Structure 1
Amino acid sequence: MKENKYDEPGFFGKYSQMPRSLGGLEAAGEWADFRALLPELDGRRVLDLGCGFGWHCRYAREQGARSVVGIDLSANMLERARAMTSDPQIEYRQLAVEEIDFSEGEFDVVISSLALHYVERFDAICRKVYHCLAPGGTFVLSVEHPIFTALPAQDWHYGPQGEKLHWPVDRYHEEGPRQARFLDHDVVKYHRTMAALVNAIIEAGFRLRKLSELEPTQEMLQRNPAWADEVRRPMFLLAAAGKD
């Protein structure tokens, strides 16, 4: 049984109040880097793995995508996505990412934003994405950075006055599940090393085009001083890969 925290009322209520849930893509700090990795979307067939409220699906259509399929395991997520969408070319399906089984070459672009660290077999997902992408297609994804996921606590080491001294990294090469605390709930995430993530993409057949570890810009820091933490350690890893 796949974990589905987003259909638990308490968790979903807290998630719904996050800035990115209320403000959409522009409220997500990693959006500028993610958008920069996207290919031309005009006329493309797009698949969004873990589509949530459908922000990326609607963006793809705004950019001229021919059609968009968004999948998510959460009924709550999809209910909200459908309520926010009035576009017959966007289709939402309730489906676990692990269970996708699309036809060969069915899509031109596959995207996934902050969903795949909840999936146990990242390598299997990469192979499935490669299969359903047409030649010349692009896979763009973001996950929590391995530096961030290594320890379950996902928190700083604090000094006696509560100051953030450093970000601890331990058990880095011990890949597997971590029971993290997110929005005051226990959530299972999967830690993988940087090498494991990159090699899974390459071994699936992709040509890796670009990586980003989201170094905050001065504009981001001025807009939200909390991003100063991300200068000290990376929180997100983004990648773009192509199918030749």
Structure 2
Amino acid sequence: MIAVFYQHLATLWPLLEQDRAFKPWLTRLPRRLAEAMDPDSNGHLPRFSEAVVTAQALPQAERVELDMAAITAHGTLNEAQRTQLVAALKKLMPWRKGPYRLFDIFIDTEWRSDAKWDRLVPHLPPLAGKRMLDVGCGSGYHLWRMRGVGAEAVIGIDPTQLFLAQFLLVRNLLGEHPVWFLPLPLEALPEPQGGAFDLVFSMGVLYHRRSPIDHLLELKAQLKPGGTLVLETLVVPQAYGQLLVPQDRYAQMKNVWFIPSVAELSRWLARCGFNNIRCVDETPTTADEQRTTAWTKGQSLSDFLDPADPTRTVEGYPAPLRAIVLAER
């Protein structure tokens, strides 16, 4: 898997060399990536590697669709190849974000990430020819959707090696595209000189950060002047108050620190120097969008809500409400 990872980066370095804004990336990324890909850093790496290498030996798609609900690889596998691919995909369970249709295999992921994309995309500026950064990109589903609407270059970052393996497996089947994955958290990403991206996405990340203001400033540093921040996050209803700080867990998640109202989040963004701040969507999470499937393990949304009152989590807090807020540097 490590070799496959570096092979996929071979087309990224020339892109970075073309823009002086990326000089800090060229200087510092190699060491940080080497540390992130340390073979001893994750005991599951051998299993992940087996899956990725298996996919590398399979035929690539004859045709791909990146603008449909499911990221789709069209083509034909013989029975032995299909068996190999199914086994490889199962080694990378659970599949959280998607869906994907790889040849005739449909991966029904826990999250229907296409629902979020459909809520978001009508409010975005034209994406054709733009450079995009997706922070906390998971398996990379939204990276492919961004490319599907014409993005010039798309980079996703996420420190989770399972998600990297899922991305690399899918990429092997879809073929060469200007889409890359760096296994890094945002705080490990060097700041470009003056910003480098037309759009920066942070979706489902803010409430996991112990310092949300630092997160917003780090996102801003990656944006070009005039670039757009796309922030998708949990919020509390305005009637609840300014801010929810869970006592211990929120919807059974232990790593949730701050859930603001939209008004409070807008104040945070303004304090960080963003302008033209607007909330374009607020949608409660339902079991149509997040649920257990054959490709996931364990519990999902229905297990996190009070069975007697689904407007509350099992801890008694307001049930998940997600907002999309756009702002500009």
What is the TM-score of this pair, normalised by structure 1?
Answer: 0.68
Compute the displacement of 1:67 (Å): 0.7
CA contact (8 A) 2:97 2:111 kept: no
Q: Which runs of 5+ in 2 are unaligned?
A: 1-41, 45-89, 100-106, 290-301, 303-309, 312-317
1:188 aligns with 255
Q: Please give the per-residue CA displacement for 1:99-122, whole angstroms capped at 9, x wherever unaligned.
A: 333302211100122122111111
Q: Are residue 78 (structure 1) and residue 164 (structure 2) matched?
A: yes
Distance 1:25 1:121 in 2: 28
Give the secondary structure class of the aligned counterpart of 1:87. Answer: coil
Give the secondary structure class of the aligned counterpart of 2:255. Answer: strand
Aligned AA (2:232): S
Give the secondary structure class of the aligned counterpart of 1:47. Answer: strand
Relative distance call for 1:13 and 1:34 in structure 2 (3 A) is farther
Q: Which runs of 5+ in 1 are unaligned?
A: 1-6, 148-168
Compute the displacement of 1:16 (Å): 2.5
- Which residue of 128, 133, 137 corresponds with 2:223? 133
2:31 aligns with none
Q: Please give the per-residue CA displacement for 1:11-59, whole angstroms capped at 9, x wherever unaligned.
A: x999725574544799234332222232211111100000001011111
Structure 1 segment 76-155 matched on structure 2, within 5 A: 76-85=162-171, 86-103=175-192, 104-147=194-237
Distance 2:137 2:110 in 1: 12
Compute the displacement of 1:192 (Å): 3.1
Distance 2:116 2:217 in 1: 25
Distance 1:176 1:234 in 2: 13
Distance 2:155 2:180 in 1: 5
Q: Are residue 27 (structure 1) and residue 112 (structure 2) matched?
A: yes
Distance 2:256 2:116 in 1: 19
- Which residue of 189, 197, 205 corresponds with 2:265? 197
CA contact (8 A) 1:177 1:191 kept: no
Distance 1:24 1:145 in 2: 24
What is the TM-score of this pair, normalised by structure 2?
Answer: 0.52
Which piece of structure 1 moves more, 198-207 or 68-77? 198-207
Q: Are residue 209 (structure 1) and residue 299 (structure 2) matched?
A: no
Distance 2:244 2:121 in 1: 32
Distance 1:121 1:8 in 2: 29
- Max Rg structure: 2
1:66 aligns with 152
Distance 2:155 2:243 in 1: 35
* Percentage identity across paired residues of the two chains: 22
Compute the displacement of 1:178 (Å): 3.9
Distance 1:50 1:197 in 2: 19
Relative distance call for 1:200 and 1:83 in structure 2 (3 A) is same
Distance 1:212 1:206 in 2: 19
CA contact (8 A) 1:178 1:191 kept: no
Relative distance call for 1:14 and 1:236 in structure 2 (3 A) is farther
Aligned AA (1:95): L
Relative distance call for 1:90 and 1:108 in structure 2 (3 A) is same
Relative distance call for 1:237 and 1:106 in structure 2 (3 A) is same
